[in-house]
Structure 1
């Protein structure tokens, strides 16, 4: 398996998302892709986009199982974060290999 990629969701949505064959969100229509991140990028993403958003879940996704195209692209001016994984299309939920509570400060 290539390095896993991660999605962050409100914990309350996880069961509904995983009950569907595909995860489809508005960013596919508005931006063309689903935002994801690497393990290295998690702290940055949580601090920037999910601070005080309530209980969160972390979905670990195997990029080798994703049926949509995954592109690694720049998303910040911080070169230490590297390229972010973007999923260009609906995510087949069969690619989700682990779900855990996201612990953050």
Structure 2
């Protein structure tokens, strides 16, 4: 399982679409994802004080676009999705408190 953090507003804005597109796809060419072990650190580093977040649980075997594990600035390898996220790969949407 891999994970993506998004706001409820961004997820709901694309509720009627078959695919989800994070802003980073347009600006960086991929969607940022995390392993389970990386989620807490990503929340702490990038989402402090941002309300109403969701954690998307994604089955990587169901993805229709290229998934690559790449080194980030902190030398960790993060999963990056090079294309839209097909929603049938999302197996659970969880509220982050």
TM-score (norm 2): 0.89
Structure 2 gap ranges (5+): none
Q: Root-mean-square deviation (CA), in Å?
A: 1.5
The equivalent position to 2:40 in structure 1, one of 39, 43, 55, is 43
Conservation of the 8 A alpha-carbon contact between 1:18 and 1:93: no
Conservation of the 8 A alpha-carbon contact between 2:11 and 2:20: no
Conservation of the 8 A alpha-carbon contact between 2:65 and 2:84: yes
| 1:53 counterpart = 2:53 | no
The equivalent position to 2:96 in structure 1, one of 89, 92, 102, is 102
Aligned residues: 97
| 1:88 counterpart = 2:79 | no
TM-score (norm 1): 0.83
For residues 55 and 3 of structure 2, what CA distance do their matches in structure 1 show? 7
